[in-house]
Amino acid sequence: MTIIEHAEEIEHLSSGKTRVLVPTMGALHHGHERLIRHGRSLAGKAGQLIVSIFVNPTQFGPGEDFETYPRTPAEDRSLCIAAGTDILFQPTVEEMYSAEQDLGTNADTKLTGTLCGPDRPGHFDGVCTVVNKLFSLIQPDIAVFGKKDYQQLAVIKQMASNLKMPVKIIGSETIREKDGLAMSSRNRYLSAQQRAQAPVLYKALKGISENNNLESAARIKAARDMIAREAPLGKISYLQIVDRETMQELMEIDRPALAATAVQFGTARLIDNIEIDPVI
Ligand code: AMP
């Protein structure tokens, strides 16, 4: 595996091979590993798999955990090698944000009026800004993003389409702990008690997807009640059912939908979601 830290080195790395990019913020866990292996399978033996690790300051809001976000570079490198990475791109903040007139890239506001959008103003603009920069530098044919951050995936697909970028965006399944908790770099912020309560996010979302005899509003109420009952240390930021493509709230599940939630446990903000298909 080659490690590259400077933008110009990666820019000059044209290979003629299919390039697959897996962007991350590091503190890699088994969920990232599976995402990277998915990237490897899409690249095939002949293609080039590039993983980026960059804790992107512009996607953190004031008071969020940019400074304290876990950084585990040595472990990350070993995991990238084990998962078949060809190139690890690990730029500094100065490298990525050196231009004096950096206007950034805005997320399409049609997709950010629900879920994490209102909770984290500017977050998806920061995500689009950094992903656009990574795409411009690396020029991937394919980029892989986790469905765990489903709204991010939708926002990036929309950005690629709006800007006519020649990149295929692939969503990769959420990898979970045995008890259902979605793996996340932020799970390490949880105390033992919070950790014991955190699997309720997925349990409540599964309840929404399985209770197909109930109206959406009743399903949401049952899920909220379950979280309040089983996770007294958690505070629900949102729990919504949205259209999987447009991220608009759905009153009725009459098209491919997504039930998604964010729950704050102390300093850890956990998110999760589940895909729900309409019953025909
Ligand atoms: P992050 O480093 O948390 O920004 O995540 C980098 C990429 O890994 C994003 O595309 C995430 O959606 C994805 N990811 C994070 N956790 C998981 C997981 N448990 N399963 C699958 N993908 C994940």
Please report which confidence band the pLDDT of residue 14 belongs to, taking 50, 70 and 90 as the band edges. low
In a domain, 134, yes or no: yes
Q: pLDDT tens-digit profile of 124-135?
A: 999 999 999 999
Q: What is the pLDDT of residue 254?
A: 93
Residue 36: pLDDT over 80:
yes
Question: What is the distance between the alpha carbons of residues 49 and 141, in angstroms, rounded to a whole number?
Answer: 11
Residue where a domain terminates, one of 123, 144, 172: 172
- Give the domain CATH number at 196: 3.30.1300.10
Give the least confident one: 46-60, 97-111, 120-134, 175-189: 97-111
Please report which confidence band the pLDDT of residue 212 belongs to, taking 50, 70 and 90 as the band edges. confident
Question: What is the distance between the alpha carbons of residues 163 and 214, in angstroms, rounded to a whole number?
Answer: 40
Please name the residue whose Cα sits nearest to atom 7 of ligand 1.
24
Number of domains in the chain: 2
Q: Are residues 160 and 217 in the same domain?
A: no
Write out the residue range of the structural domain in which residue 35 sits. Answer: 2-172
Q: What is the pLDDT of residue 120?
A: 97
Q: Which residues line ligand 1 (CB under 6 A)?
A: 24-25, 31-32, 35, 145-146, 148-149, 172, 174-175, 182-185
Please give the number of the atom of ligand 1 that sits closest to the Cα of 27: 2
Mean pLDDT of 54-83: 97
3-state SS, residue 150: helix
- Give the domain CATH number at 21: 3.40.50.620
Q: Are residues 57 and 103 in the same domain?
A: yes
Kindly report the backbone phi and psi dihedral angles of residue 174, in degrees, each rounded to the nearest multiple of 5, phi listed first.
-75, 130
Mean pLDDT of 222-236: 98
Q: Are residues 209 and 72 in the same domain?
A: no
- Tell me whether residue 32 is one of the annotated catalytic residues: yes
Q: pLDDT tens-digit profile of 52-67?
A: 999 999 999 999 999 9
Overall pTM > 0.95: yes
Mean pLDDT of 182-207: 98
Please report which confidence band the pLDDT of residue 257 belongs to, taking 50, 70 and 90 as the band edges. very high
Point out the catalytic residue in the list 12, 30, 32, 123.
Answer: 32
Question: What is the distance between the alpha carbons of residues 263 and 66, in angstroms, rounded to a whole number?
Answer: 19
Q: Are residues 25 and 130 in the same domain?
A: yes
> Ligand 1, from 20, 21, 22, 24: best to mutate by most atoms within 8 Å of Cβ?
24
Mean pLDDT, the chain, rounded, equals 96
Locus of tokens 């110009």: 8
> Ligand 1, from 54, 148, 173: best to mutate by most atoms within 8 Å of Cβ?
148
Q: Are residues 147 and 220 in the same domain?
A: no
In a domain, 122, yes or no: yes
Alpha-helical segments (H) within 163-269 = 192-197, 200-210, 216-230
Q: Cα of 100 to ligand 1 centre, how many Å?
A: 30
Question: What is the distance between the alpha carbons of residues 179 and 170, in angstroms, rounded to a whole number?
Answer: 26
Q: Cα of 149 to ligand 1 centre, how many Å?
A: 7
Region of 139 (left: φ > 0; alpha: ψ -120 to 50; beta: rest) is left
Mean pLDDT of 79-93: 97
Is residue 87 within 8 A of residue 36, CB to CB? The reply is no
Q: Are residues 33 and 166 in the same domain?
A: yes
The 10 Å CB-count burial string (b at 16+, else e) for 109-145 is eebbebbbbeebebbbbbbbbbbbbbbebbbbbbbbb
Please give the number of the atom of ligand 1 that sits closest to the Cα of 184: 16
Please name the residue whose Cα sits nearest to atom 10 of ligand 1.
145
Q: pLDDT tens-digit profile of 158-178?
A: 999 999 999 999 999 999 999
Is residue 1 within 8 A of residue 85, CB to CB? The reply is yes
